[in-house]
Structure 1
């Protein structure tokens, strides 16, 4: 069985999304217990939860793009049949590609700005550009997935 780079990316991104979700849940649990029982919250919990959420979201997008698992509203699908339906379907896909391409470019621009400005997380002491770079790389991987898994439904003219 040949090993595909895309399959490796999918498995790695899925595992990272799971780990980020578990880390986020653990930090929230410990923070709530600390606040409730000891009246002492974790100072860095907000930052860790925010980072974990971003990593979970963008690493999980690879699988969502690949399987076309987006939440969709299909109430009007019955009106989009034939050539008109194909045109609408491809138009929506192209809008999605343009939007997500813009998002990825903006994330990398934010990495550059954060690097120039020297932003540091308040409690973690980590340079923000490093975390943003990791998130941007996951977004770029999800972007590749978006283009690799071009629509199959209504795809032919």
Structure 2
């Protein structure tokens, strides 16, 4: 979450075919560059960059802004995600919103792993120094284990 709210406009350079997200405020002050290859995501960021310039009172380089034109806070992002989850009826077994920055980060790592991306690359994209940290985000489900075992040759 802190990486997201720390992003400045210049940290997401875009072109018609490419884009990147430059994370300057990662854990331990490490930085990394994450490719932004999805055209729809690049278009959405480009549109937001255009719109944010018209907000009154914007006096910050922050990419994501609060209602007053200042940098969006961690708490505000959590509240926005909870509202989106409630609106979309994405709730846990107790009826509470089941969407958070942590859930989205976990989903990112899990989807990459399930798509066949090696854990070293996933760790780099997530900004993890230790593979064990990444492994916690990418634990296999029972279905994953069954699919893996299904690849074994049989004597049939």
TM-score, length-scaled by structure 2: 0.28
Q: Which has the higher helix share?
A: 1
Structure having greater relative contact order (Cα 8 Å, sep ≥ 6): 1
Rg larger in 1 or in 2?
1
TM-score, length-scaled by structure 1: 0.28
